[in-house]
Structure 1
Amino acid sequence: MRSIFMKSPSPTRTTPSGSPLHHTFTDSLMEENIEAAETIITKWDSLYGDNDAPYCNIASLFSESNREEEAKQYLSSIKGLQKAMHYLASHQSDSDQLVRAQTLMQTAMKRLEREFQQILKSSRNYLDPESVSTHSSSSRPSVSRSSFSDFDEDDDSENETESIPEVERVSAVAMADLRAIAEAMISAGYAKECFKIYKTIRKSVVDEALYNLGVERALSFQQIQKMEWEALEAKIKNWLNAVRPSVKTVFYGERILCDQVFAVSPAITESCFTYILSEGALALFGFPGNVAKCKRTPEKMFRILDLYEAVSDLWSEIESIFSFESTSIVRSAAVNSLVRLGDAVRTMLTDFETAIQKYSTKTMVPGGGIHPLTRYVMNYISFLADYSGVLSDIVFDWPLSVQSPLPESYFVSPDKDENISSPISVRLAWLILVMLCKLDGKAEMYKDVALSYLFLANNLQYVINKVRRSNLKLLLGDDWVTTHEQKVRKYASNYERMGWSKVIASLPGNPTEEIPTDQVIDHFRKFNSAFEEAYKKQSSWIVADPKLRDDIKISFARRIGPVYKDFFDNYGGVQLMNEMSIVKYTPDELGNYCSDLFFGSGGSGSVSSNSSLGGRSL
């Protein structure tokens, strides 16, 4: 018994030449692997027919009916064949079995290559970027097979997949099949063939998706520079509509697909993704930078800000999607566009300030109404306030540089509100101050001092209204509004004092005091003359804001009305009997005349908003 168990005879067989060959248990297993592989590989190879036959006519190993059994068995046999080949290469490198295994492997890879291509084409509608970006196959582990080896395990997910939408289910299954095939081919040394098929088909899908979104590739800086603004603005609008779905759908979806299909090889994932997307991404992210280099005028500011905002908002996605070293050029293109756009905005802000300072039109607004400069600048700045978030990024490290410090009285903020001290708040406030200083010079052009004050009150009130009704209110704060409302009241008071001083002086200091008849007559005559002169002159003057108009009228009525009424009640009755030409106005008539003031000859204070600061009508 000991001799039987201690002495294990080694089985032997002979080669075709008759020489004995040492044969082990492992040899038998490897032979069985080759036999099993040959059976299924040969079976499916016979289903090909003509190698040039259309793919739609080829029986698919990964169809619904075959996937669970045939595909699993096929891929499992390839793994066994690989083991046999590795073993034979190490122990029997000149064996006929190794040649046989290599031939079978070539046949199997040919089959998988065609299956890979067929799945990519037949599932194109389910592997479009939108479908893939909506969900990642990793989020559905019950549907997708995480690796080539998962085909060895039973898939017990049928019940779990019933609730998954059809598009998502098919997409996830297709990605799992592609991944299993890719892993098998890469493991067998056929990565190049797999890569070639994938990049060719997927690049056409991505290119078509970008084309449908309106992404243009042939626009050089020279071409953009030669465009009329209307044409360029239309292209900017198209770009703005395309950039978000391009990043969040096309680029993101393709990144997910590459990551899933080539999960076994990060190097191939990177190579595929870079080849497929670099061209389109560079065209997309290069466009804003080229626009930023074009001639800069005020009307282009807001489109430049739109471009900056779009790229800035998507930067985290861009950085994540194009995280490979080989796609750093794409990240650089996006960053360069942001830099150029930011530089363009800073230049245009500087040019805008300079244009305000150099504004030299000497045409006076009739009636002291709203100046075109005020309308244009405030509309422009209120639009800028809508981009406060973007502008804050752009001017964050760009300190305001002026010849004199910003007047402390301009910002009265006891608690030093953080908003008012932000770079963008200070910069927009400075632009308003530059304009107000310019308006002070415009006010001096009026020969009538009262009208100059009314002009200042009108325009500052317009500024306040614009601030109140826009995001400027959030940036400048309540204290800014309160301070400037006080200035409006001061201007209005100065107007009233200068414009109606003769009328007020014509009445007695104490209208109820007994005075001689000749002085009464003199007071009425002086009042009539002063009022008529003031009314005639001011009937064409304008107060555009209804509330300011009412406030001025109420203030004027309080100063003149009661005094005149008392004087009229005490002396007007006697004079009406004897001197009809002396008393021309009853208190009610006086009030009616005053209520008709400040509408201007046209009944309103509106003027044209065209300005020499730029060609865009705001």
Structure 2
Amino acid sequence: MRGLLFTSSKASSPSHSSTQSPARTPVTTPHHRTFSASIQEEDLLYAEQVIKRWDLESPFYTKLDSLFTGDGREARQFVKSVTNLQSAMHSFVSECASSEKLIHAQKLMQVAMKRLEKEFYRILSANRDVLDSESVSNRSSRARSSVLNSDSDEDDRISMSGTSVSDGERATVSETVMADLKSIADCMISSGYGKECVKVYKILRKSIVDETMYNLGVEKYSLNQINKLDWETMEPKIKTWLYAEKIAVKALFSGERILCDYVFSSSEKIRESCFTEICKERAVTLFEFPELVTKSKKSMERMFRSLDMYTVILDHWPEIEMIFSFESTTAVRTQAVTSYVKLGDAVRSMLTDFESTIQKETLKTAVNSGGIHPLTRYVMNYLVFLSDYSEALSEILADGPLQVHSPLPESYFSSMTSDESSSSSISGRFAWLVLVLLCKIDAGAEIYKDVAQSYLFLVNNLNYVVSKVSNSNLRLLIGEDWVVKHEQKVKQYAGNYERMAWSKVMSSLPENPTVEDLSIEAARDCFRRFNLEFNEAYRKQSTWIISDHKLRDEIKISLSRKISPAYRTLYERYRGYFQGVDSVVRYAPDDLGNYLSDLFHGAGAPGSVNTSSHSSSSSSYLSRAR
């Protein structure tokens, strides 16, 4: 037909060339118009046949009928007929805006759009399980890129790279459903019925977001409500928020953005409008909560939860910025930044209060056993937990460094660079707080009237500080040299303790009993003096404690090596002179080790030191020590 038409036009052209002006040369126009009209009429007839089969008002329609099922052939045929109908309508308008064909085509278009709207609603409602935000958000960045750059081909399928093999079937269904939604949206938008499509989408997806946020425990609070909550009630709500924020950013909002971008890829304006109405309100409510917490009553116990919230927002900021990149979602980004800044301010304030509290604290009463002071435990455990947030604290201190009330000695930072040891750095801040505590410990040792016990107090508390630093992130922050230096100081204090507590016991024995010849009276006097001093030392120190088992064993071994060999020699050389005289020789050499093993547990003396001189007499002490 096309060949015949063009042959005819060429044949007629020469016969009229001499009599017809150039303005009247297109003699083929009536033929073309007739051909075009016939094509449009065929499109209209074809569209009518396809669309009428799926008319919602048809007597043959049942609720079980679904256009987008199976291999999608029917759906593609339907969408293609709508596209052809739209093209025919444009042609009819150019001919006559009030023609019967145009009116008929418009009615068919309305039938088709009602059908597509119904299918759009059905697909969204029936496939919530494969359109859940977590599944959608698991698409790789490559898949997301392909979504944003995809064309409007009705048979387009989103790339599923990043979906695990075990989820293959689910991914295929999700893929198909998303492509069907996109096909319907593209068709309705291009046909001028985007408003109806968008309305359905907003209603259904917003209900899912609202339901998910409710299930996650996200509520809208006022400052007055937050201020009425005690910490026991507040902390669980913060934990709930921390979990909800991760799910919302990583899955819920991210998934909604990906789905919205894909389904409405043909219109930037519609994508923004849909996503904003679906997620904006809930997102603002989510990120408003941390700000309200910072405005409530301040207390040191809120430090770590505030850091948790600060860290979560810091870690998720790239995703937040990307997900809510639309101009209409600026309020969400602004609220997230506001909460982030307020949390940083709150943490700086609590750090200042913490330092001030330590400096004001005075150790007025001595720990009876010479053990670890509660202030030492509290401060070091607090610092250990704080050190786990070193990255967040670095950000916070960089935004607004704290003021140091006293300068740090240069020798305190022998293993740090000048930048690291500055008062505004996180390392400098932790080192300063530890130094303040050590000064308090030194002052606390002066409370003890017994010098030996004051050294034992220093041993216990300094060793506790060093142990906490060594076994946490504080070691990286304060430095290896600091640890080595203070481990040596612990040993020095331990040596001072041994000398002050046991010097009289050691001096009661001959310096070199293997060489010295003692008279019987001198030996008797030596045993009596040893009994007296050892009994006194044991009695006094039986309630003292060394908390660290390793350090406790080291000091016991050190004392045994200094006392036992000399006493054993004296015992073996002179015991025969004092047979049956229990008041002179009270201890067998093995007894000394057993008694020493009972020390530093804080249990107190089990009884009088007056026992028999036989080794078996101390078996009960040995069993308890074990």
> Could you say if the C-alpha distance between residues 487 and 30 of structure 1 is closer, same or farther in structure 2, counting changes exceeding 3 Å?
farther
Question: Residue 307 of structure 2 contacts residue 347 of structure 2 at CA under 8 Å; is this kept in 1?
Answer: yes
Determine the structure 1 residue equivalent to 2:138.
134
> Could you say if the C-alpha distance between residues 169 and 140 of structure 1 is closer, same or farther in structure 2, counting changes exceeding 3 Å?
farther
Determine the structure 1 residue equivalent to 2:69.
63
The structure 1 residue matched to 2:382, chosen from 371, 380, 383, is 380
- Distance in 1, matches of 2:141 and 2:449, equals 78
- Distance in 1, matches of 2:393 and 2:462, equals 25
Which amino acid in the other structure matches residue 117 of structure 2?
E
> Is it true that 1:48 corresponds to 2:50 in the alignment?
no
Which amino acid in the other structure matches residue 197 of structure 1?
V
Between 1:288-297 and 1:249-258, the stretch displaced more is: 288-297
Provide the TM-score with structure 1 as the length reference: 0.82
- Distance in 2, matches of 1:54 and 1:463, equals 84
The structure 2 residue matched to 1:211, chosen from 211, 214, 220, is 214
Question: Residue 51 of structure 2 contacts residue 108 of structure 2 at CA under 8 Å; is this kept in 1?
Answer: no
How big is each residue's C-alpha offset from its partner over 1:62-113, in whole Å with a ceiling of 9 and x where there is no partner? 3326x31x43333223333333333444454455544444444333333333
Question: Residue 134 of structure 2 contacts residue 255 of structure 2 at CA under 8 Å; is this kept in 1?
Answer: yes
Question: Residue 419 of structure 1 contacts residue 477 of structure 1 at CA under 8 Å; is this kept in 2?
Answer: no
Between 1:360-369 and 1:588-597, the stretch displaced more is: 588-597
Question: Residue 47 of structure 1 contacts residue 58 of structure 1 at CA under 8 Å; is this kept in 2?
Answer: no
RMSD: 3.8
- Distance in 1, matches of 2:207 and 2:60, equals 19
Determine the structure 1 residue equivalent to 2:612.
none
The structure 2 residue matched to 1:121, chosen from 103, 122, 125, is 125
- Distance in 2, matches of 1:8 and 1:122, equals 67
The structure 2 residue matched to 1:552, chosen from 550, 555, 559, is 555
How big is each residue's C-alpha offset from its partner over 1:594-613, in whole Å with a ceiling of 9 and x where there is no partner? 34322223589xxxxxxxxx
> Could you say if the C-alpha distance between residues 365 and 145 of structure 1 is closer, same or farther in structure 2, counting changes exceeding 3 Å?
closer
The structure 2 residue matched to 1:279, chosen from 257, 278, 281, is 281
- 1:556-567 equivalences under 5 Å are 556-565=559-568
- Distance in 2, matches of 1:570 and 1:520, equals 10
Determine the structure 2 residue equivalent to 1:616.
none
> Could you say if the C-alpha distance between residues 143 and 493 of structure 1 is closer, same or farther in structure 2, counting changes exceeding 3 Å?
closer
- Distance in 2, matches of 1:37 and 1:572, equals 127
Which amino acid in the other structure matches residue 445 of structure 2?
A
Quote how far apart the aligned CAs of 1:520 are.
Answer: 5.8
Determine the structure 1 residue equivalent to 2:14.
6
- Distance in 1, matches of 2:285 and 2:140, equals 27
- Distance in 2, matches of 1:3 and 1:580, equals 148
SS in 2 for 1:366: coil
How big is each residue's C-alpha offset from its partner over 1:91-136, in whole Å with a ceiling of 9 and x where there is no partner? 5445554444444433333333333223222333332223322347
- Distance in 1, matches of 2:133 and 2:528, equals 88
Between 1:140-149 and 1:357-366, the stretch displaced more is: 140-149
- Distance in 1, matches of 2:208 and 2:335, equals 23
SS in 2 for 1:491: helix
How big is each residue's C-alpha offset from its partner over 1:235-270, in whole Å with a ceiling of 9 and x where there is no partner? 222222222222222111111111111101011101
Identity, in percent, stands at 53
Question: Residue 55 of structure 2 contacts residue 61 of structure 2 at CA under 8 Å; is this kept in 1?
Answer: no
Determine the structure 1 residue equivalent to 2:483.
481
- Higher relative contact order structure (alpha carbons within 8 Å, sequence separation ≥ 6): 1
Question: Residue 183 of structure 1 contacts residue 262 of structure 1 at CA under 8 Å; is this kept in 2?
Answer: yes
Determine the structure 2 residue equivalent to 1:222.
224
Determine the structure 2 residue equivalent to 1:74.
78
Determine the structure 2 residue equivalent to 1:429.
431
Provide the TM-score with structure 2 as the length reference: 0.81
Determine the structure 1 residue equivalent to 2:180.
177
Task: For structure 1, list consecutive stretches of 5 or more residues without a partner in the other structure.
Answer: 10-21, 155-161, 605-618
The structure 2 residue matched to 1:86, chosen from 83, 90, 98, is 90
SS in 2 for 1:248: helix
- Distance in 2, matches of 1:578 and 1:40, equals 126
How big is each residue's C-alpha offset from its partner over 1:191-212, in whole Å with a ceiling of 9 and x where there is no partner? 2222222111211122122223
Task: For structure 2, list consecutive stretches of 5 or more residues without a partner in the other structure.
Answer: 1-7, 18-28, 158-164, 607-626
Determine the structure 1 residue equivalent to 2:199.
196
- Distance in 1, matches of 2:580 and 2:236, equals 78
Question: Residue 288 of structure 1 contacts residue 341 of structure 1 at CA under 8 Å; is this kept in 2?
Answer: yes
Quote how far apart the aligned CAs of 1:276 are.
Answer: 0.3
Question: Residue 40 of structure 2 contacts residue 91 of structure 2 at CA under 8 Å; is this kept in 1?
Answer: no
SS in 2 for 1:368: coil
Quote how far apart the aligned CAs of 1:324 are.
Answer: 1.1
Question: Residue 206 of structure 1 contacts residue 277 of structure 1 at CA under 8 Å; is this kept in 2?
Answer: yes
Question: Residue 182 of structure 2 contacts residue 264 of structure 2 at CA under 8 Å; is this kept in 1?
Answer: yes
How big is each residue's C-alpha offset from its partner over 1:139-184, in whole Å with a ceiling of 9 and x where there is no partner? 4999999554446x99xxxxxxx99844322322222222122222
> Could you say if the C-alpha distance between residues 7 and 125 of structure 1 is closer, same or farther in structure 2, counting changes exceeding 3 Å?
farther
- Equivalent pairs counted in the alignment come to 578
- Distance in 1, matches of 2:409 and 2:466, equals 18
- Distance in 1, matches of 2:379 and 2:61, equals 66
> Could you say if the C-alpha distance between residues 548 and 520 of structure 1 is closer, same or farther in structure 2, counting changes exceeding 3 Å?
same
The structure 1 residue matched to 2:253, chosen from 241, 251, 254, is 251
Question: Residue 47 of structure 2 contacts residue 84 of structure 2 at CA under 8 Å; is this kept in 1?
Answer: no
Determine the structure 1 residue equivalent to 2:465.
463
- 1:307-456 equivalences under 5 Å are 307-360=309-362, 362-399=364-401, 401-413=403-415, 423-456=425-458
Determine the structure 2 residue equivalent to 1:598.
600
How big is each residue's C-alpha offset from its partner over 1:300-338, in whole Å with a ceiling of 9 and x where there is no partner? 222222222222222222121111111121122222222
SS in 1 for 2:369: helix
Which amino acid in the other structure matches residue 253 of structure 1?
G
Which amino acid in the other structure matches residue 405 of structure 1?
P
Which amino acid in the other structure matches residue 133 of structure 2?
P
Question: Residue 207 of structure 1 contacts residue 280 of structure 1 at CA under 8 Å; is this kept in 2?
Answer: yes
- 1:280-295 equivalences under 5 Å are 280-295=282-297
SS in 2 for 1:391: helix
Determine the structure 1 residue equivalent to 2:533.
530
> Could you say if the C-alpha distance between residues 135 and 559 of structure 1 is closer, same or farther in structure 2, counting changes exceeding 3 Å?
closer
